[in-house]
């Protein structure tokens, strides 16, 4: 196989394809087989299902009309508009209320810094309230568990009583009512039969008397009518008995037996529901117990933090502020340590507000940048101040994306923005985490659907409307979205059902190829292919868009031997030496390799690294040659 093609030119000239193209042709053949199989299966399923397109089981959403807020929600951090940096020794955030003068010589145990514990004291009061609330919730959960158990027992007893009544009704009919009704029907038949016999005897005497002219013809007819009436009554009595046996009895038994079964299933459901309710109440009680313990631990922790609000000198020495000792770098413009500065745990420097005016530093993602502009209102929710919301406005948007975020994640483009809070608020602290909702638009009456129900087909937005059991594609005009809902300007009415996911045949639509001018006409695409081909010919001597798709033309497949030789000459002397070293290593005997291993152990780290690189290059070249030989054998 190695001698099958003596040169790359002969390999490419052999029917216009080489081992690589043969491999690609083999793959394309398998792809064709797979596609044909998929088409056959789809046709078979369509024939089996009668060719009907069903919409059952589809996830749909009815277009709604109402208020719609277009906003951008991002996380941010509370910062003071003016701030200083300081040393911190207490967990959480606090401020310095007393600070010893810099340069003072102190002894071990002297007071150095007194931190503001008022916030912790307030937190302690709040935490004591939380502990009391948690205790009340625990008591409530305990009592609720007892109520749930009582209610569960009551529901089960009612269900059991219903089942017992159903069984009694069945037994009452089967052993009481039905036998009585049957006996009454049989007695009625006996009575009607006796009446018939008497009527017949009377008629017989009347006929004899009529022959002797002792009674009139009218009296004879009356006796005959009595016989007929008795026969009819007998027939009705017999029919009533048959109706009771064949229909009434069967229906009543089926109904009563069904009542028993339904009562049995209702009892089982009640028992299961009661068990689930009890389990849920027990879980709630367990959660309340854990919450109570957590709040107690938090109260203990806050109390301990208050005790640590005063810091003492661990040894004798002269006081030097951290800002004074660490000048230069990014700290060079920091103000000295001073009273009134806020600090945080285990960090020398933190932000402390010097004014009561605050702002929020927020990063706007590039996908939401077009919705945000300076001056838009914003609502700020601070995580630490649950239930409180603050009003602000967008004051600044950076013209370029944040370089730090791009360095950490090149795929993340965010724009640093500032949102100023209106007014003053003493409860805010620098560094608090918050959520900023920038209000871009507010519509009082808008039609909207989920964003996932809108997709672009041919560059135009469209939805798939489910109507009368079928799905139709409909072009729509869309407005802005809030990442959940998108506004429909026109093309869709309120209440119309749209699919939350496109059908398979539409989801697989490939986007059209567009050139730089935005067009997708065949002439533009051909011009694009021609330009690409010209660029490739300039670089490599051949293009990719030949006359036959997927195959190289004969002119494109000719790679001059001189080009290969020129590339070989352009390789550096160092590359040829590494290649020669790899080839010599492959031809070594086991004894020579053992000697090299001994020399390797005595080498310096730099020499070992160079030898590893040569060995790895040899292995990589061998693997590439093996793959190339395998491709030739497959061809």
Dihedrals φ, ψ of 377, to 5°? -70, 160
Residue closest to 449 by CA, chosen among 185, 63, 123, 107: 63
| Number of other CB atoms surrounding residue 17 within 10 Å | 19
Separation CA 428–CA 78 (nearest Å): 8
CB burial of residue 147 (10 Å; 0-12, 13-18, 19+): exposed
Residue closest to 304 by CA, chosen among 345, 359, 265: 345
Q: Which parts of the chain sit beneath pLDDT 50?
A: 1-25, 43-55, 83-86, 325-334, 349-353, 507-520, 542-561, 563-564, 567-568, 571-574, 578, 582-583, 585-586, 618-620, 631, 633-635
- CA dihedral 80→83→87→93, nearest 10 degrees, is -10
Separation CA 165–CA 260 (nearest Å): 9
> What is the side-by-side strand order in the sheet with 310-312?
310-312, 111-115, 93-99, 342-344
Cβ within 8 Å of residue 466, ≥6 positions away:
55, 58, 60, 497, 498, 499
Query: Are 364 and 417 in contact, with CB atoms under 8 Å apart?
Result: yes
Separation CA 534–CA 542 (nearest Å): 8
Query: Are 2 and 632 in contact, with CB atoms under 8 Å apart?
Result: yes
Query: Residue 549, CB half-sphere, CA atoms under 13 Å: how many?
Result: 2
Query: Token pair of 363, please?
Result: 């990063």
Query: Are 480 and 376 in contact, with CB atoms under 8 Å apart?
Result: no
| Number of other CB atoms surrounding residue 501 within 10 Å | 14
Which sign, positive or negative, has the C-alpha torsion 475, 481, 486, 490? negative
Which sign, positive or negative, has the C-alpha torsion 406, 408, 409, 414? negative
Q: What is the pLDDT of residue 571?
A: 47
Contacts of 288-297 with CB under 8 Å at 24 or more apart are: 288/134, 288/137, 288/138, 288/140, 288/141, 289/138, 289/141, 291/134, 291/137, 291/138, 292/131, 292/134, 292/135, 292/137, 292/138, 294/134, 295/127, 295/130, 295/131, 295/134, 296/131, 296/134
Separation CA 24–CA 26 (nearest Å): 5
The reply to whether 119-307 shares the fold of 58-82+355-511 is no
Dihedrals φ, ψ of 11, to 5°? -65, -40
Strands (E), 429-484: 433-450, 455-457, 460-467, 470-475, 477-481
Q: What is the pLDDT of residue 226?
A: 86
DSSP for 289-311?
Answer: HHHHHHHHHHHHHHHHHHHTSEE
Which helix H or strand E contains 323, and what residues bound it?
Answer: helix 322-325
Query: Token pair of 482, please?
Result: 């809030």
Cβ within 8 Å of residue 344, ≥6 positions away:
88, 90, 92, 93, 94, 350, 431
Separation CA 384–CA 629 (nearest Å): 67
Which sign, positive or negative, has the C-alpha torsion 375, 378, 384, 385? positive
Separation CA 481–CA 465 (nearest Å): 20
CATH number of 119-307: 1.10.287
Query: Are 392 and 377 in contact, with CB atoms under 8 Å apart?
Result: yes
Q: What is the pLDDT of residue 634?
A: 47
Treating both helix axes as pointing N-terminal to C-terminal, what angle do 249-307 and 118-172 enclose, rounded to 10 degrees?
A: 170
Distance of CA 397 to the CA centre of its chain: 31
Query: Are 62 and 496 in contact, with CB atoms under 8 Å apart?
Result: yes
Q: Hey, where are the domains in the chain?
A: 1-52, 58-82+355-511, 119-307, 516-634
| pLDDT tens-place string over residues 552-607 | 344 443 444 454 455 445 544 445 554 555 445 445 555 566 666 666 566 666 66
Separation CA 319–CA 305 (nearest Å): 24
Q: What is the pLDDT of residue 92?
A: 72
DSSP for 481-544?
Answer: E-SSEEEEEES--TT-EEESS--HHHHTPPPPP--TTS---HHHHHHHHHHHHHHHHHHHS--S
pTM exceeds 0.75, yes or no: no
| Number of other CB atoms surrounding residue 65 within 10 Å | 13
Q: How would CATH label the architecture of 58-82+355-511?
A: Beta Barrel (2.40)
Query: Token pair of 587, please?
Result: 């031809």
């Amino acid at each position: 196989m190695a001698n099958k093609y003596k040169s790359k030119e002969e390999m490419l000239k052999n029917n216009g394809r080489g081992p690589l193209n043969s491999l690609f042709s083999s793959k394309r053949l398998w792809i064709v087989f797979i596609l044909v199989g998929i088409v056959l299966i789809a046709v078979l399923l369509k024939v089996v299902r009668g060719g009907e397109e069903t919409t059952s089981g589809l996830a749909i959403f009815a277009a709604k009309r109402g208020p719609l807020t277009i906003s951008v929600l991002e996380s941010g951090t509370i910062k003071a508009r003016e701030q200083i940096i300081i040393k911190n020794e207490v967990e959480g955030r606090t401020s310095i209320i007393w600070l010893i003068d810099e340069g003072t010589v102190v002894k071990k145990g002297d007071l150095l810094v007194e931190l503001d514990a008022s916030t912790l004291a307030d937190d302690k009061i709040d935490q004591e309230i939380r502990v009391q609330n948690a205790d009340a919730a625990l008591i409530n959960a305990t009592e609720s568990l007892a109520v749930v158990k009582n209610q569960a027992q009551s529901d089960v007893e009612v269900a059991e009583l219903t089942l017992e009544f159903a069984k009694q009704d069945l037994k009452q009919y089967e052993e009481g009512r039905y036998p009585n009704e049957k006996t009454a029907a049989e007695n009625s038949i006996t009575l009607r039969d006796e009446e018939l016999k008497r009527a017949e005897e009377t008629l017989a005497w009347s006929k004899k008397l009529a022959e002797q002219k002792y009674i009139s013809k009218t009296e004879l007819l009356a006796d005959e009518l009595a016989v007929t009436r008795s026969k009819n009554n007998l027939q009705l009595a017999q029919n009533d008995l048959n109706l009771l046996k064949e229909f009434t009895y069967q229906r009543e038994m089926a109904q009563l037996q069904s009542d028993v079964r339904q009562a049995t299933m209702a009892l089982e459901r009640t028992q299961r529901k009661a068990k689930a309710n009890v389990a849920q109440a027990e879980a709630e009680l367990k959660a309340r117990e854990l919450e109570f313990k957590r709040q107690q631990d938090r109260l203990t922790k806050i109390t301990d933090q208050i005790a640590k609000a005063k810091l003492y000198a661990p040894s004798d020495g002269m006081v030097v502020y951290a800002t004074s000792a660490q000048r230069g770098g990014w700290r060079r413009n920091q103000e000295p340590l001073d009273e009134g500065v806020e600090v945080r745990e285990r960090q020398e420097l933190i932000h402390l507000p010097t004014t009561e005016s605050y702002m929020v530093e927020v990063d706007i993602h590039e996908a939401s940048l077009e919705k945000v502009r300076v001056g838009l209102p914003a609502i700020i929710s601070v995580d630490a101040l649950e239930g409180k919301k603050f009003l602000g406005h967008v004051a600044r948007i950076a013209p370029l994306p944040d370089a730090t975020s791009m360095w950490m994640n090149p795929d993340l483009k965010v724009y640093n923005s500032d949102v100023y809070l209106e007014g003053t608020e003493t409860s805010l602290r620098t560094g608090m985490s918050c959520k900023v909702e920038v209000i871009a638009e507010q519509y009082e009456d808008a039609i909207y659907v989920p964003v996932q129900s809108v997709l672009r087909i041919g560059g135009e937005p469209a939805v798939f409307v489910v109507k009368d059991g079928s799905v139709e594609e409909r072009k729509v005009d869309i407005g802005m979205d809030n990442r959940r809902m998108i506004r429909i300007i026109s093309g869709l009415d309120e209440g119309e059902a749209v699919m939350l996911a496109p059908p398979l045949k539409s989801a697989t639509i490939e986007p059209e190829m567009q050139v730089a001018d935005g067009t997708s006409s065949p002439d533009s695409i051909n011009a694009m292919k021609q330009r690409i081909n010209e660029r490739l010919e300039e670089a490599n001597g051949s293009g990719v868009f030949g006359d036959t798709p997927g195959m190289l033309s004969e002119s494109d497949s000719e790679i001059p031997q001189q080009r290969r030789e020129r590339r070989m000459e352009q390789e550096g002397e160092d590359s040829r030496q590494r290649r020669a070293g790899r080839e010599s290593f492959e031809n070594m005997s086991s004894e020579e390799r053992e000697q090299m291993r001994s020399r390797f152990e005595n080498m310096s780290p730099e020499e070992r690294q160079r030898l590893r690189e040569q060995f790895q290059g040899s292995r990589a070249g061998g693997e590439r040659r093996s793959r190339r030989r395998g491709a030739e054998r497959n061809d």
